[in-house]
Amino acid sequence: MSRELSRVETWEKTSEVPLLLLAGAFLVAYAWPILNPDLHPDLATFFFYASWTVWLAFTIDFVIRLALSDRRRSYALRHWYDVVLIAAPMFRPLRLLRLLAFARIINRSAVGGLAGKVAVYVAGSALFAVSLGALAVLDAERDAPDANITTAGDALWWACTTVTTVGYGDHFPVTTQGRFIAVGLMLVGIALVGSLTAVIATWLIENVQHANQQND
C-alpha cells in the first residue's frame, strides 16, 4: 500500500499545478460563451474544442493514476467521482472541482486553528458554488420557454438565494436540467449552513476555554 501511495501521490503532486491551470482554462472556456451568447462563431468553436481538450487531459491523468496503482479496482472505487466525471461529459462543469486542490494550499496557510480553517473553506465553497451554480443554471434556462432566469444577474441572484436556503421564489428553474442543478445547490447550501453553525459553535467554545485558562 505504501508503494502505491508513493507512486500515485508523486504523480498527483507533479500534475497538480498543470491540472489547476487546465481547470482554470476550462472555467474560461465554459463561462465565456454563456456570459456572451453573441460570441463570434470562430471563438465559440475554439472554446468548444478547448473544453474537450481539458476533458481529455483529465481523462489521461486518471488513466495514469490508475496505471500507477497496484490495486486498480480499489483505487477506481475510492475515486468513483473521477470515473463519473470522465464517463459523463454532460456533467462537464463538475470538472472544475479540480480547483478544490487549492484547499491544500489553504490548509497550509490558514491560521487560527480548526475554526479558522473551516471558515476559509466554507467561504471558498460558498463562492465556488454560487459562481458555478449561476453559470450552469443560466446555460440550462436562458433559451427555455417561460424561463425567468435569462440574464447573468438573474442567475447570480437565484444562486445566492438558493445556496443560502432563503429561496424567495422570484426566480426558479423550469427545465429538468435546471432543477437538477437547483437540487445540487440546495444540498450544498444545507451543508454550508451546517458547517457555518459548527464553526461558530467551535469559535465560542475556544473563546470560553481560553477565558477560563486565563482566569485560572
Question: Does 107 score more than 70 pLDDT?
Answer: no
pLDDT tens digits for 4-39? 457 888 888 888 788 878 888 888 888 888 888 888
User: For residues 181 and 159, is the Cβ–Cβ distance under 8 A?
Assistant: no
Q: 190: domain CATH number?
A: 1.10.287.70
Residue 100 falls inside a structural domain: no
Residues 86 and 148 occupy one common structural domain: no
- 80-87 and 41-68 are packed helices; what angle lies between their axes, rounded to 10 degrees? 140
What is d(CA 149, CA 146) in angstroms, rounded to the nearest whole number?
9
102 in a structural domain: no
Dihedral sign for Cα atoms in the order 164, 93, 178, 188: negative
The average pLDDT across 98-111 equals: 52
Q: Evaluate whether residue 101 is within a structural domain.
A: no
Highest mean predicted confidence (pLDDT) among 18-22, 84-88, 95-99? 18-22
In a domain, 155, yes or no: yes
Q: Which domain holds residue 34?
A: 1-95
186 part of a folded domain: yes
Of 43, 68, 95, the position where a domain reaches its end is 95
Q: What is the pLDDT of residues 72-81, one digit of tens each?
A: 888 888 888 7
d(CA 91, CA 94): 6
Of 95, 128, 147, at which residue does a domain stop? 95
DSSP state of 1: -
Specify the pLDDT at position 205: 78
Considering only residues 110 and 75, tell me which one the structure prediction assigns the higher pLDDT. 75
Number of domains present in the structure of the chain:
2
The string of DSSP codes covering 165-198 is T---SSS---SHHHHHHHHHHHHHHHHHHHHHHH
Same domain, 26 and 81: yes
Mean pLDDT value across residues 45-68:
88
The verdict on residue 103 lying in a domain is: no
Give the predicted TM-score (pTM) of the model.
0.71
Average pLDDT of span 125-151 = 88
29 and 128, same structural domain? no
The residue among 191, 177, 132 whose CA lies nearest residue 158 is 132
For residue 17, tell me if it sits in a domain.
yes
Which tens digit of pLDDT belongs to each residue from 141-174? Answer: 988 898 999 999 999 999 999 988 887 888 999 9
Identify which has the larger pLDDT, 95 or 121: 121
Q: How high is the pLDDT of residue 79? A: 82
